Amino acid sequence: MLRVEDLHKSFDDFRAVNGANLSVQKGELVAVIGPNGAGKTTLFNLITGQLQPDSGKILLNDEDISKLPPHIICRKGVARSFQIANVFPRLSVFRNVQVSVLSQQRLSNKLFQSASRLAVQETNRILESVGLWDRKMDVAGSLSHGDKRILEIAIALGNEPELLILDEPTAGMSPEETATTMALIQRLAADQGLTILFCEHDMEVVFGTAQSIMVMQQGQTIVQAKPEAVRQNSEVQQAYLGGE
Amino acid sequence: MFGEMIRQKQFGVSIAVFVLLLLVPLFLPRFYIYFLAVIYLTALLAMSLNLCVGHGMLFQFHHGVFYGVGAYTAGLLLAKTSVPWWIAFMAGPLAAAFAGLLIGIFCIRLNRLYFGMLQISLGSLIWAIAFRWYGLTGGDDGIHGIPIPDFIASTTSSYYFVLVVMGICLILLYLILKSPFGSTLQAIRDNPERCAAVGINVRRHQLMTIIIATFFGGAAGVLFVIVEGSIFPDLLFWVLSLEIFIMCLLGGWFTFAGPILGAAIIVSLRTFVGAYTEYWTLILGVILILLIFFMPEGIMGYNYRQLFRSRTKYASQIQME
């Protein structure tokens, strides 16, 4: 479904992504791991169009999307969450999700209809499925960090994505919150047949959930394989797992 | 349900206020009728700017230009051509919206402060044209005694016309703000990057906002011509733009009706304090400083915080706005 081939991106002299390769099959749960500064977030920003690559290809269903702006890529079925909680702080939780549902239904430009009657069912369904329904009238800025991260996933779900990209979905969460969030992600993948690409620091989390793991170091892909194979790969052990 | 109740209550209050304003000319002396009409059209101007500033976080620093373009278009058509009055009136907002489109296309590529800076420079170009082109615009003298159609020529009838047009425009602005367009705009204000990632064409949405805002700004300009019967380059000068900006901040830029209050306060100051001293802008400066320190969300914004302490209620209130 998604294939990244020999992707490069530099900021001035710093090569943030320097030969990344990745392949995501439909229905798969794929993790990207690597030490801090390995280029995981940059890779995600390149895929979703926040950044433009210097060279290399990003193929979504065999179409090159590497030069497209973020909103077009989103309309092609790729939704994402961000590493820093990235919600609409002044709007209510309900409005936060409704914005993306409206966008998905191509209603964002409607001028003289009342927004409070549109896309209500879909929005409520998403809020229910992630467990934020009872907080839907709260201002998003007042949520706890963990809830904001969940809300972010809910916003991304509003786009009914084929491919959901999560940038460190459990960063800064307590162990309990991490467990709930990962359970939620696995449930979404199973129930809705979502394809999910995520990056994560917590090795337990990654090896417990992912079906395929891509390892990055200094912007480069070392290997992509099944969890057991990655665990046994000597290069990976040296570069990353060795220290733990 | 709570929200629904407030909504009906608010609606009732608005109707009551409107009826009251309809009756006002029966009691007030002529000067005050004129004065109120000026407040109304300035309120509409401030509301139109607030669509950009408060709800879109687009720092439209030179909104006065579009007010001026609306006024000049209608004024010139009435004074120099024989087109029917209603065409002149419609041409004002349309010309302003077109100017908004032209300037917006360039400005929209820049962010926040730079957006404002470029707008001031491009807007000043239009001001310079109005100021220098004596043959057409009368230069710094402007044009006075513009023929206004008989049915709105008197102070009282122009008062009613301004009131009704402003009422209609406010309803339209309210509907726009409540629409998917408006709610998406507020989401862009809060977080443009996230909006792009949910499939919204942020730049196009902002450009649409500018066009709508400048349309209503131009409408306010036409109302000015009706009330004053004259046009002059000060309408497009950046000082006026700053005043409108302050009206939004003062009244409460994250609220719907805040700019009306801001406009009423500033126009009153300008009229009554300005009659005593030409340094009335000094007072404006002091107000601005106090505002930044004590009420960064303006008077109406401050009110809501006080009235709705609990988060949940505040949330539903924000939704209302």
A116/B197 Cβ within 8 A: no
B193/A90 Cβ within 8 A: no
Q: What is the CATH number of the domain that holds A157?
A: 3.40.50.300
Q: Which of A74, A91, A102 sits opposite B197 (nearest CB)?
A: A74
pLDDT digits over B60-75, tens only?
889 999 999 999 999 9
Minimum CA–CA partner of B206 in chain A: A109
Most confident of A132-146, B34-48, B100-114: B34-48
Q: Which of residues 135-194 of A touch B (CB under 8 A)?
A: 137-139, 142, 155-156, 158-159
Q: What is the model's pLDDT at position B66?
A: 94
Q: What is the model's pLDDT at position B319?
A: 46
A86/B195 Cβ within 8 A: no
B150 DSSP assignment: G
Structural domain span for residue A227: 2-232
Q: Which of A90, A104, A115 sits opposite B318 (nearest CB)?
A: A90
Which is more confident, B212 or B2? Answer: B212
Minimum CA–CA partner of A71 in chain B: B199
Kindly tell me if the per-residue pLDDT of B320 is higher than 50: no
- B109 part of contact set with chain A, CB < 8 Å: no
User: Which of B197, B208, B274, B199 lies closest to B38, judged by CA?
Assistant: B274
| B295: its two tokens | 């009420």
Minimum CA–CA partner of B199 in chain A: A71
Q: What is the model's pLDDT at position B8?
A: 67
How far is Cα A226 from Cα A203, in angstroms, rounded to an integer?
A: 14
How far is Cα B242 from Cα B237, in angstroms, rounded to an integer?
A: 9
Confidence of residue B317 (pLDDT cuts 50, 70, 90): very low
Kindly tell me if the per-residue pLDDT of B311 is higher than 50: no
How far is Cα A116 from Cα A102, in angstroms, rounded to an integer?
A: 11
Residue at A116 is within a domain = yes
Residue at A241 is within a domain = no
| Cα B2 from chain centroid (whole Å) | 31
- Which residues of chain A have a CB within 8 Å of the CB of B315? 92, 137-139, 142
Confidence of residue A127 (pLDDT cuts 50, 70, 90): very high
Kindly tell me if the per-residue pLDDT of A243 is higher than 60: no
Which is more confident, A112 or A122? Answer: A122
Residues in Cβ contact with A241 at an 8 Å cutoff, skipping those fewer than 6 apart: A203, A231
Q: Which of A48, A70, A115 sits opposite B183 (nearest CB)?
A: A115
In chain B, % of residues over pLDDT 70: 91
Kindly tell me if the per-residue pLDDT of B221 is higher than 90: yes
Q: Sort strands A163-167 and A78-81 into parallel, antiparallel or unpaired.
A: parallel
Nearest chain B CA: its distance from A68 CA (Å)? 12
Average pLDDT over residues A20-36: 88
User: Which of A197, A161, A182 lies closest to A28, judged by CA?
Assistant: A197
How far is Cα A95 from Cα A138, in angstroms, rounded to an integer?
A: 10
Q: What is the model's pLDDT at position A241?
A: 57
In chain A, % of residues over pLDDT 70: 98
Confidence of residue B1 (pLDDT cuts 50, 70, 90): very low
Residue at A132 is within a domain = yes
DSSP secondary structure string, A44-108?
HHHHTTSS--SEEEEEETTEE-TTS-HHHHHHTTEEEE-SS----TTSBHHHHHHHHHHHHTT-T
- A74 part of contact set with chain B, CB < 8 Å: yes
- A130 part of contact set with chain B, CB < 8 Å: no
Kindly tell me if the per-residue pLDDT of B321 is higher than 60: no
Number of domains in chain A: 1
Residue at A244 is within a domain = no
> Where are chain B's structural domains?
2-237
- A85 part of contact set with chain B, CB < 8 Å: no
Q: What is the pTM of this model?
A: 0.86
Average pLDDT over residues B252-258: 85
Average pLDDT over residues A234-243: 68
pLDDT digits over B31-62, tens only?
889 999 999 999 999 999 999 988 888 888 89
pLDDT digits over A142-196, tens only?
898 888 989 999 999 999 899 999 988 888 888 888 888 888 888 888 888 889 9
- Residue B285 CB coordination number (10 Å): 12
Q: What is the model's pLDDT at position A79?
A: 92
Q: What is the model's pLDDT at position B173?
A: 92
pLDDT digits over A74-107, tens only?
999 999 988 877 899 889 999 999 999 999 988 8
Kindly tell me if the per-residue pLDDT of B170 is higher than 70: yes
User: Which of B95, B46, B109, B81 lies closest to B300, judged by CA?
Assistant: B46
Minimum CA–CA partner of B205 in chain A: A109
Q: How far is CA B44 from CA A51, B7, B41, B298, in A?
A: 40, 22, 5, 18
- B319 part of contact set with chain A, CB < 8 Å: yes
